[in-house]
Amino acid sequence: MKLKDADDRKSILNDLELEDNTGYSFVLAGLAFRMLDGLAMKDYPVSFRTK
């Protein structure tokens, strides 16, 4: 998975091909993301299912 910053600096973008009726999950690792003041975010788990 390759993430990149969006132009708004508030979002991340990822180009994926997803399967129908499939569950996905991943963790955005906090040390990989920093706020403008340099503080790392907490790990952020993401889970979703396609229709």
| Its pTM surpasses 0.85 | no
Residue 51: what pLDDT? 96
Please tell me the distance from the alpha carbon of residue 34 to that of residue 40, in angstroms, as a whole number: 4
Please list the rounded mean pLDDT of every run of 10 residues in the chain (51 residues): 82 91 92 80 93 96
Q: What is the DSSP string of the chain?
A: --EEE-TTSS-EEE-----TT-EEEEEE-GGG-B-TTSPBPPPEEEEEE--
Do residues 30 and 40 touch, judged by C-beta distance below 8 A?
Answer: yes
* 43, two tokens: 């790990």
What's the pLDDT at 39? 87
Q: What is the pLDDT of residue 25?
A: 95
